[in-house]
Amino acid sequence: MHPIKEFFQNPIYRFGLVFLGAFGGFYYFNQLYIGITAPGGFFYIPFIDKYLNYISGLRYVLLQTAQAILNLLGYTTFTTNYWLRVSGYGGIVVVYSCLGYGVMSFFAAFVIAWPKPLKAKLWFLPLGLLLIQALNVSRFILLSLYWRRSGLRGLVDHHDIFNAILYIILLAVIYFWVNSGEGSLRNKRRKMKVEV
Predicted confidence (pLDDT) per residue in 101-132, tens digit: 999 999 999 999 999 999 999 999 999 999 99
Residue-wise pLDDT tens digits, 136-156: 999 999 989 887 676 666 667
All residue ranges of the chain with pLDDT < 70 are: 1-2, 148, 150-155, 183-196
Residue 146: predicted pLDDT: 81
Beta bridge partners of 86: 77, 90
Tell me what pLDDT residue 183 has: 66
Backbone phi, then psi, for 169, in 5-degree steps?
-65, -45
Contacts of 67 (CB under 8 A, 6+ apart): 77, 79, 84
Name the residue among 59, 38, 42 with its Cα closest to residue 50: 38
**Residues pairing with 79 in the sheet:** 84
Angstrom distance (rounded) from CA 67 to CA 75? 9
Q: What is the pLDDT of residue 190?
A: 56
- pLDDT at position 111, please? 97
Exposed / middle / buried, residue 194 (Cβ in 10 Å: 0-12, 13-18, 19+): exposed
pLDDT at 4: 72
Q: What is the pLDDT of residue 193?
A: 52
Q: Exposure of 28 by Cβ count < 10 A (0-12 exposed, 13-18 middle, 19+ buried)?
A: exposed
Residue 137 near residue 39 (C-beta atoms within 8 A): no
Contacts of 7 (CB under 8 A, 6+ apart): 13
pLDDT for the residue 189: 55
State pTM to two decimals.
0.85
